[in-house]
């Protein structure tokens, strides 16, 4: 069933009786060529591209809960490719290009909105650093622009420009950045994968891996044993739990990141904005709520909820930047579990077990990476070699000193 304007009109005239469930609910078969563990954004994108771009068949996605019920439904929906380092920027730019064509590609309205992102500058040193970043982005074919204080004032005159400690001195802008309707990304990929014959198997928790002679044979699940030639794990947040079935310890800690949404307001922020002096990022949803977040709580957690001190810290960041929101009420807060890696960058790589592949360590930047992550992981699964833009995301980079550390924090996951 393809979506089109004609279809919407036809359904409107016939009482919307023709809409059908957009994916099947199949029982697991005895064996597949490919099993993707994790029915979130990255896992579904992997299955979709594996079927569509790499022409593979006999694919299953195993999801412990329901499709899109994890981090793809819990993030702040921002897309951008404003990275500095060589290992990252080509990958995220590839992702942003895929976002730009995504809705036509999978024939689903994901509400990709390139409303632009600005990162505010508060010191001269920050301007130098962001100028360097902008140059790096442009060299990799992305767009970047330096804004003056007056340029920012034209966009958002109500910001706290003369904050005594953190005056706003300008911004780096990426006009092609923006937001996407996060759930629709999961649904679009799920539908696209299902249409190409991928079995999306929900309520199917992987409880073990059968590994014989250094080769994966299949996975034990809550719905029985399922054989597979190749198994790809894309369960960021729970990576350590799942990979423990293969006896692996990862360069990852799981941390909780909280996100927030305010009551609905009239249009205030038409793009995405980040505060450069604290850690605070904000956009406004189409329903009017301010969607924002800040730092992770900073201790290992699988709780999907955080604590009050971080809420206070995020609120302080918001107030320092936008005193106008002082009387706005918070509607909801929630938490998601992040794979915080040792250098703040992800891993898309083979493991030492033949036929077992890993995709994770997304820290809190996984949503924007969804299309490229799926594409590159599918490339790795199908061809047994890394995609051009994901070559640096290796397991052994910590052993070889090839870390991709955007923040320069070293092996301290809670500071990335």
Does the protein bind another protein through residue 212 (CB under 8 A)?
A: no
Residue 157 or 401: the one with the smaller Cβ distance to another protein is 401
| 313 close to 381: Cβ distance less than 8 angstroms | no
| 391 close to 348: Cβ distance less than 8 angstroms | no
Residue 39 or 237: the one with the smaller Cβ distance to another protein is 237
Pick the piece of the chain touching another protein (CB under 8 A) from 33-41, 149-157, 237-245, 346-354.
237-245
Which residue of 77, 240, 284, 359 would you call a contact of another protein, by CB under 8 A? 240
Which residue of 131, 163, 217, 300 would you call a contact of another protein, by CB under 8 A? 300
On the 0-12 / 13-18 / 19+ scale of CB atoms within 10 A, 287 is exposed
On the 0-12 / 13-18 / 19+ scale of CB atoms within 10 A, 415 is middle
Q: What x-and-dash track marks residues 80-99 binding another protein by CB under 8 A? A: --------------------
Does the protein bind another protein through residue 301 (CB under 8 A)?
A: yes
State the Cα–Cα distance between residues 317 and 325, nearest whole angstrom. 11
Does the protein bind another protein through residue 257 (CB under 8 A)?
A: no
Min dist CB 336 to another protein, Å, is: 14
State the Cα–Cα distance between residues 248 and 222, nearest whole angstrom. 21
Min dist CB 240 to another protein, Å, is: 4
Residue 116 or 360: the one with the smaller Cβ distance to another protein is 360
Contacts of 255 (CB under 8 A, 6+ apart): 296, 297, 298, 299, 300, 301, 337, 338, 340, 413, 414
Min dist CB 303 to another protein, Å, is: 6
Contacts of 187 (CB under 8 A, 6+ apart): 22, 67, 68, 108
Contacts of 272 (CB under 8 A, 6+ apart): 78, 80, 115, 116, 117, 118, 177, 178, 179, 281, 282, 283
Does the protein bind another protein through residue 249 (CB under 8 A)?
A: yes
Binding residues among 317-346 for another protein as defined by CB under 8 A? 342
Does the protein bind another protein through residue 251 (CB under 8 A)?
A: yes
Does the protein bind another protein through residue 207 (CB under 8 A)?
A: no
| 199 close to 26: Cβ distance less than 8 angstroms | yes
Pick the piece of the chain touching another protein (CB under 8 A) from 185-193, 301-309, 355-363, 374-382.
301-309
The residues of the shown chain that bind another protein, judged by CB under 8 A, are 238, 240-241, 249-254, 298-303, 307, 309, 342, 398-399, 411-414
């Amino acid at each position: 069933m393809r979506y089109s304007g004609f279809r919407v009109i036809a359904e409107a005239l016939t009482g919307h009786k023709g809409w059908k469930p957009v994916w099947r609910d199949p029982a697991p078969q005895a064996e597949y060529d490919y099993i993707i563990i994790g029915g979130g954004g990255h896992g579904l994108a992997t299955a979709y591209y594996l079927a569509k771009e790499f022409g593979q068949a006999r694919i299953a996605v195993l999801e412990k809960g329901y499709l899109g019920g994890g981090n793809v439904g819990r993030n702040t929906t921002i897309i951008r490719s404003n990275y500095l380092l060589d290992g990252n920027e080509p990958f995220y730019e590839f992702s942003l290009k895929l976002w730009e064509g995504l809705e036509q590609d999978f024939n689903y309205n994901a509400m990709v909105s390139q409303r632009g992102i600005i990162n505010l500058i508060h010191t001269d040193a920050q301007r130098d650093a962001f100028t360097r970043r902008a140059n790096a982005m442009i060299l990799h074919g992305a767009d970047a622009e330096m804004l003056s204080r007056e340029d920012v004032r034209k966009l958002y005159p109500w910001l706290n420009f003369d904050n005594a400690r953190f005056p706003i001195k300008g911004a780096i802008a990426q006009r092609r950045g923006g937001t996407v309707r996060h759930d629709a990304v999961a649904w679009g990929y799920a539908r696209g994968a299902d249409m190409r014959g991928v079995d999306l198997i929900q309520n199917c928790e992987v409880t073990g891996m059968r590994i014989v002679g250094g080769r994966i044979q299949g996975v034990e699940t809550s719905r029985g044993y399922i054989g597979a030639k190749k198994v790809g794990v894309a369960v960021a947040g729970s990576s350590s739990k799942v990979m423990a079935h293969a006896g692996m310890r990862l360069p990852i800690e799981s941390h909780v990141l909280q996100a927030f949404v305010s009551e609905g307001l009239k249009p205030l922020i038409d793009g995405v904005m980040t505060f450069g002096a604290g850690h605070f990022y904000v956009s406004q949803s189409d329903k009017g709520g301010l969607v924002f977040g800040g730092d992770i709580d900073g201790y290992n957690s699988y709780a999907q909820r955080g604590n009050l001190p971080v809420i206070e810290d995020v609120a302080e960041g918001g107030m320092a930047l936008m005193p106008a929101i002082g009387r706005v009420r918070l509607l909801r807060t929630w938490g998601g579990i992040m794979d915080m890696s040792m250098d703040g960058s992800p891993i898309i790589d083979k493991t030492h077990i033949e036929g077992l592949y890993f995709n994770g360590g997304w820290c809190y930047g996984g949503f924007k990476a969804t299309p490229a992550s799926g594409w590159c992981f599918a490339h790795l699964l199908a061809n047994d070699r890394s995609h051009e833009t994901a070559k640096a995301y290796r397991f052994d980079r910590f052993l070889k000193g090839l870390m991709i550390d955007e923040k320069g924090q070293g092996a301290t996951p809670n500071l990335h």
